[in-house]
């Protein structure tokens, strides 16, 4: 605030110091042309009959009144809105699989999606009681490899925060259930859908 005040005071002092020496230049460059334009406008105003000015004022007022009272009519102008293409579930899963090398979060997203698919397969097979997401992925004809079962259940029933990652780039993180081969899990789920 003080800087702004000092700057304004400095500008005013500079303007006062330059006002007297530049008085003739400002008079010739600014005052005379502005006075001439005002004199020409006054001549124009007095040379046109007064009734014409009243007609012009009434026309402008009528235009404003009609424009404000009429409903707005929109011309059918189609604006092209650039939208991102819709990303489907398969494409999302593919992007997460590519990003899974970055860290635990994307590995967990893939495991979560595949766990939900496994849950849906089992829910479609069962009749009667509703299956909870937190129920273990078991069924009489559901016989996955223990690593696949751990992978699916860790994605479905656990959070990515349960699998901490080492912050040190030189120390390799301990393998977790999320490090299981995704292709083997997908092949198992495909075989279960065909049943």
User: What's the whole-model pTM score?
Assistant: 0.50
127-151: pLDDT as tens digits: 656 666 666 677 767 777 788 888 8
Residue pLDDT, tens place only, 67-81: 888 877 665 666 667
SS3 state at 194: helix
**Distance of CA 109 to CAs 39, 102, 103, 176, Å?**
77, 12, 11, 14
- What is the pLDDT of the chain when averaged over all its residues? 78
pLDDT in tens, 109-133: 888 888 888 877 777 777 656 666 6
Instruction: Report the alpha-carbon distance of residue 105 to residue 128 in Å, rounded.
Output: 35
pLDDT score for 133: 61
pLDDT at 68: 86
Give residue-wise pLDDT tens across range 7-46: 999 999 988 888 888 888 888 888 899 999 999 999 988 8
Phi, psi angle pair for 96, to nearest 5°: -65, -40
Check residue 168 and give its pLDDT: 60
Give me the long-range contacts of 100-108 (CB less than 8 A, separation at least 24): 100/182, 103/165, 104/160, 104/163, 104/164, 104/165, 104/176, 104/178, 105/160, 107/160, 107/163, 107/178, 107/179, 108/154, 108/155, 108/158, 108/159, 108/160, 108/163, 108/178
Give the number of other Cβ atoms within 10 Å of residue 179's Cβ: 16
Residue corresponding to tokens 């007297």 = 20
pLDDT, residue 172, reads 66
The pLDDT of residue 107 is 80
**What does the alpha-carbon distance between residue 161 and residue 106 come to, in Å, rounded to a whole number?**
12
Alpha-carbon distance of 195 to 190, in angstroms, equals 9
Tokens 């993180």 belong to residue: 173
At 38 the pLDDT is: 95
């Amino acid at each position: 605030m003080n800087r702004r005040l000092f700057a304004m005071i400095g500008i005013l002092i500079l303007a006062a110091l330059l006002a007297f020496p530049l008085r003739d230049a400002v008079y010739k460059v600014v005052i005379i042309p502005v006075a001439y334009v005002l004199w020409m406008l006054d001549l124009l105003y007095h040379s046109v009959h007064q009734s014409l000015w009243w007609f012009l004022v009434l026309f402008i007022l009528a235009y404003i009144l009609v424009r404000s009272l009429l409903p707005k009519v929109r011309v059918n102008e189609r604006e092209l809105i650039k939208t991102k293409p819709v990303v489907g579930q398969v494409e999302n899963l593919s992007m997460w699989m590519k990003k899974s090398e970055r860290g635990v979060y994307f590995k967990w997203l893939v495991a979560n999606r595949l766990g939900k698919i496994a849950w849906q397969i089992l829910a479609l097979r069962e009749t009667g009681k509703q299956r909870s997401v937190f129920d273990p992925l078991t069924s009489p004809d559901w016989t996955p490899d223990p690593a696949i079962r751990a992978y699916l259940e860790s994605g479905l029933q656990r959070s990515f925060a349960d699998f901490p990652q080492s912050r040190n780039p030189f120390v390799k993180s301990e393998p977790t259930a999320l490090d299981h081969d995704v292709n083997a899990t997908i092949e198992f789920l495909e075989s279960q859908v065909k049943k």
